[in-house]
Structure 1
Amino acid sequence: MMLPSSSSFFIACERQLNRVVGLAAAVMLLIAAAAGLFQVFSRFLLNTPAYWSEPLVRVSLIWMVYLGLMSAARGGALIAVGFFYDKTYGRMRGVLRLAIMLSMLTLFAVLAYYGWQAVYMVRNQTIAGFGLSASWVYSAIPVGSSLAALATIAHYLAPAKEVLTGPDPLKAT
């Protein structure tokens, strides 16, 4: 399938953004693991708990999940309709793909809208033991869902075939 140059440019930009965001999600997982390990070390070996480590683990895991949403959306792994996809062909498959994309974009729009409302509501609160504004934590919702919406559009324009149909584990490769 040959894409127009603007679609190709969008796909290339999304691919690079997805790499950066995926790396950021991995870093968030690394931060959560390191802070959790330090908490255990500090509490049980030094007998002085690190009051900042638990909120750091929580914040980094929240950001990891919402940043990872972009990679899941790009791979088409959010709405598993493989059975229906395998049973449809031609125009009906195109209609199904469009319905999947529109439902995912609707979900991400709702998440972004209510996520920004949550950010606004908690703008004056801070995370206990961390001193960070709670709005920074809640901003993961609209940021992650907006990035996932971009990835959803990219997946619609250039689907990841291995996720849509999936490899057959019973066939020898």
Structure 2
Amino acid sequence: MAETIHRALDAVYLACIWVAGACIFLMSLFIPWGIFARYVLGTGAQWPEPISILLMVIFTFLGAAAAYRAGAHIAVAMLTERMPPELRRVMAFAVSVLMLLVSMFMVYYGTSLCIGTWQQSIPALPWMPVGLTYVPVPLGGFITLLFVLEFLAAGDQSQRDVVRFDLMDEAKDGAA
């Protein structure tokens, strides 16, 4: 059962990394296009800026969740490294509980924000509800919540090999 949960969370982790990477890639295309359209073509496309901001929000919240699971999140360890090991464990547990509370806050209030702003529209993108732009907040909070619960139940996952989901390897294994 635990291995199934780890595999599922590995898939979520890899999806977060791929989505965050795709957001950065698309931003690196859209922002120069907006500049080119404004200063070279003289048309001033309105969509690159709000779409790029939305991509940055997605990158931030999903990337932060992936960084938490990878143990690569921002941490100031100068003080904790000088403490005795038993106090370090207590502080690590306290940090996990605080992360759990922050994640639940993001899920609850992020969902409320999405619902409360769903009927509004963005002037540059009238087809997109404002509430949709806030979806990465509760989604990132929920994914972080899953990763925090995994950390509390099974310990640090940053040193464990992530299960690779390579279809070619599965095809070779099935043929052998």
| CA distance in 2: counterparts of 1:144 and 1:11, whole angstroms | 18
Q: TM-score, structure 2 length as denominator?
A: 0.79
Unaligned runs of 5+ in 2: 160-176
| CA distance in 1: counterparts of 2:122 and 2:25, whole angstroms | 21
What's the CA shift for 1:97? 2.2
Paired letter, 2:155: A
Paired letter, 1:134: V
What's the CA shift for 1:44? 1.2
Q: Secondary structure at the match of 2:78?
A: helix
| CA distance in 1: counterparts of 2:151 and 2:4, whole angstroms | 14
| CA distance in 2: counterparts of 1:85 and 1:153, whole angstroms | 22
| CA distance in 2: counterparts of 1:46 and 1:81, whole angstroms | 47
What's the CA shift for 1:96? 2.4
| CA distance in 1: counterparts of 2:96 and 2:130, whole angstroms | 31
> 1:11-160 maps to which residues of 2 (within 5 A)?
11-78=6-73, 80-88=75-83, 91-130=86-125, 131-156=127-152, 157-159=154-156, 160=158
Higher relative contact order (CA 8 A, sep 6+): 1
Percent of residue pairs identical: 21
- Are 1:28 and 1:64, in contact at CA under 8 Å, matched by a contact in 2? yes
Unaligned runs of 5+ in 1: 1-5, 162-173
| CA distance in 2: counterparts of 1:89 and 1:75, whole angstroms | 24
| CA distance in 2: counterparts of 1:89 and 1:109, whole angstroms | 30
